[in-house]
Structure formats: structure tokens, C-alpha cells
Amino acid sequence: MTVAPERPRRRERRRRRVPSWALVGAGLLVAFVVGIAVGESLHDNPAPGGTQTLVRTLQPLPLAPAARTTVTVTVTNR
């Protein structure tokens, strides 16, 4: 009977897994922040179809020069 030589066992590194409650908490935090961002963006935009007021100052147009002829009107009383 032959016995195979034993192989040296490798040391297995233990992986530190993130607890599931930490992942759930991080997910809830992300959802909360996204909800706040969406709420603020909806609050900042004005309602469509609102009233818009424009204020303009109109400049007067130039006047035509005054007539240089004299007109006499005679009215008789009856």
C-alpha cells in the first residue's frame, strides 16, 4: 500500500463580509437622498402655464413739424 504525501494546506484568508444590515442601511440612505433631490427639483420648478408679466418703457415718437400757415375761420351767428 502506498500513501500519497500530504500537500501542505494553504491558509485561507477569511473575507470580512459586510453585514446585510449595513447594505440595507446604505440602500435606505441612498433612497432617502434621491427622494430629497427629486422633491427639491419639483419644488424649484414653477408650475406650467403661470402668469408672466413684462414691463417695457415706450419711447415717444418724434412729432411732425408744426404747420407754418395761418388759417382764419369766420363764423356767423344766426
Backbone angles phi, psi at 76, to 5 degrees: -105, 145
- Encode pLDDT of 15-39 as tens digits: 677 789 999 999 999 999 999 999 9
CA atoms within 13 A on the CB side of 3: 3
3-state SS class at 78: coil
Residue 42: the pLDDT is: 85
Residue 46: the pLDDT is: 67
Cell triple for 51: 402668469
What pTM, to 2 d.p., does this model score? 0.40
| Burial class of residue 73 (count of CB atoms within 10 Å of its CB; 0-12, 13-18, 19+) | exposed
- Encode pLDDT of 48-57 as tens digits: 777 788 999 9
Higher pLDDT, 67 or 27: 27
